[in-house]
Structure 1
Amino acid sequence: MAGRRSDVRRSDARRAAGLAVLLAAWNDLLVPRLPERAYAPVNAAAAATLLAAARSGGISWAELGLDPRRLGAGARAGGAWAAVVGAGYATALAVPALRPLLADARVTGLGARALAVRVLVRIPVGTVLWEEVAFRGVLPPVLRRVLPARQARTAAAALFGLWHVTPTVRTLALDPPAADRPRRVGAVAAACLGTAGAGVLVDRLRERSGSLLAPALLHLAANDLGALAAAAAGRR
């Protein structure tokens, strides 16, 4: 019996280590090599594969935040925070002095069609779905099987911060003043720390609501409304 428990622990440790390596490498090594049109379908397929692997590994729908009975709680919590985010963007748009804060080089110059693809496909499917399934759905229960809750939360936050290294570097490359190396390094470090902190807060939202829908709605509002606000600010 003891031997079987030891085998289970080793299996859990291998699963956690493998997932950590996958997530540490995915956004920083694989995604930059993908054609733009492959971003959403590849990430969606990865989300489906990760969910299937988690279920085959004995992780329940409730542990994944996908218990249908918690959808209402998730919608209420996520919707409330999404409304707060929307109000913040609306305020920034309405106050001329705040509009420069909305600038996003990834959106600048996009036509209506490209912007629609970004907010209807790339962000919801390629970014929000994949990141929420990976970081708020599968990763927490996998880590909690081998680490105490606080350490698991810290490890997940650190991975979420590392996830944003290459995206931040690529975004800064679109902004010529950011070519200065010290500024670039500082901006990347700040982005990683900021997203790690955000990961902790969003994970708490996921835990309290019991539903992956709550952080997904907040994430979607932050990214989609941010893109729309940036586009609107650029036209004023």
Structure 2
Amino acid sequence: MSGSPPQCPHAVSVGRALLAVAAPLVWHNAVLPRLALDIRGRTAANVAFATGYARVFAGEPRWGAAAGWRLGLGAAAAVLAGYGAALALPPARRALAATPDRSPGVSLPEWVGAHIPLGTVYSEELIFRGTLDPIAGTPLTALTFGLWHIAPARAAGDPILPTIAVTTAAGLIFGALRRRTGSATAPALLHYALNAGGAVTPRLARSRPG
């Protein structure tokens, strides 16, 4: 009886990993920019893509893991303390005040309360730490996370290679937190503290005299 030869499990796993790596890059660097959405549309689109991606590739973010909350809250508190210290030091405060305003055309509460936690943190942590990291491993996931930022860097006029390097390094840290806790919650909380603090602190610096 003739039939097609059985597929090699290793080949199937490699193909799945390659597809899991390619899909976010195509989405964020090719498809999403061509949609020409405003920030609210991009947030909704990223949330939908991340949720569908996690379903297709059997993501397990384990948002409710206690270890993820403990370590994540500690890491986030350390970051926020660092921002607070920067505001208290006049040279650092002046440097923050000179930071270009990158507000995306919505109010600060909407940016920090909706678009950063949903369009950025939920979407990226579900894709990368909650789904891709267990499939492809932390180094490749971190590099993919860096490459994910090519289109945003171009849109903002930022240098591409330094942006990739910095976000890849951040991906390694986020991946280490996921491995330690078995949850995407720890890197998500750290990620949120970094991004939200980066949005709020320069405005606070500009509002303070001296």
TM range (shorter): 0.7 to 0.9
* Partner of residue 44 from structure 1, selected from 47, 51, 56: 47
Within a 5 Å distance, the mapping from 1:120-131 to structure 2 comes to: 120-131=113-124
Among candidates 187, 191, 212, match of residue 163 of structure 2? 191
User: Structure 1 CA distance, aligned partners of 2:27 and 2:175?
Assistant: 20
Q: In 2, are the aligned partners of 1:44 and 1:130 still within 8 Å (CA)?
A: yes
- Aligned residue among 116, 123, 148 for 1:163: 148
Aligned to 2:101: 105
**Corresponding residue of 2:198:** 226
Q: Does 1:139 align with 2:115?
A: no
Could you tell me which amino acid in structure 2 is paired with residue 190 of structure 1? P
TM-score (norm 2): 0.86
How far apart are 1:235 and its partner, in Å?
2.5
TM-score in terms of structure 1 length: 0.77
In the alignment, the residues of structure 2 paired with residue 25 and residue 234 of structure 1 have an alpha-carbon distance, to the nearest angstrom, of 38
Equivalent-residue separation in structure 1 for 2:155 and 2:28 (angstroms) = 12
In the other structure, the counterpart of 1:215 is 187
Match of 2:112 among 84, 98, 119: 119
- Relative distance call for 1:67 and 1:127 in structure 2 (3 A) is closer
> How big is the shift at 1:40?
1.2
Name the CA distance, whole Å, in 2 between partners of 1:166 and 1:233. Answer: 29
CA contact (8 A) 1:105 1:171 kept: no
Distance 2:202 2:168 in 1: 23
Aligned to 1:53: 56
Partners of 1:89 and 1:200 in 2: CA distance? 22
In structure 1, C-alpha distance between the alignment counterparts of 2:116 and 2:103, rounded to whole Å: 12
Cα distance between partner residues in 1 of 2:37 and 2:63? 34
Partner Cα separation in structure 2 for residue 67 and residue 122 of structure 1: 19
Secondary structure of the 2:57 match is helix
Helix, strand or coil for the counterpart of 1:106?
coil
Deviation at 1:104, TM superposition (A): 4.1
Decide whether aligned partners of structure 1 residues 67 and 166 sit closer, same or farther in structure 2, where only a CA change above 3 A counts: closer
Cα distance, 1:67 vs. partner?
6.9
Cα 1:10/1:42, change in 2 over 3 Å: same
CA separation in 2, counterparts of 1:171 and 1:162?
15
User: Which residue does the alignment assign to 2:11?
Assistant: 10
Contact between 2:125 and 2:184, CA under 8 Å: does it hold in 1? yes
Amino acid in the other structure paired with 1:42: A
The question of 1:73 aligning with 2:67 is answered: yes
Q: CA deviation at 1:77?
A: 0.2
- Counterpart of 1:166, as a letter, is A
The letter for the 2-side match of 1:85 is V
User: Which structure has the highest helix share of the two?
Assistant: 1
Q: Which runs of 4+ in 1 moved over 3 A?
A: none
Q: Distance in 2 between matches of 1:166 and 1:100?
A: 30
1:107–1:231 Cα contact (<8 Å) kept: no
Amino acid corresponding to residue 51 of structure 1 in structure 2: A
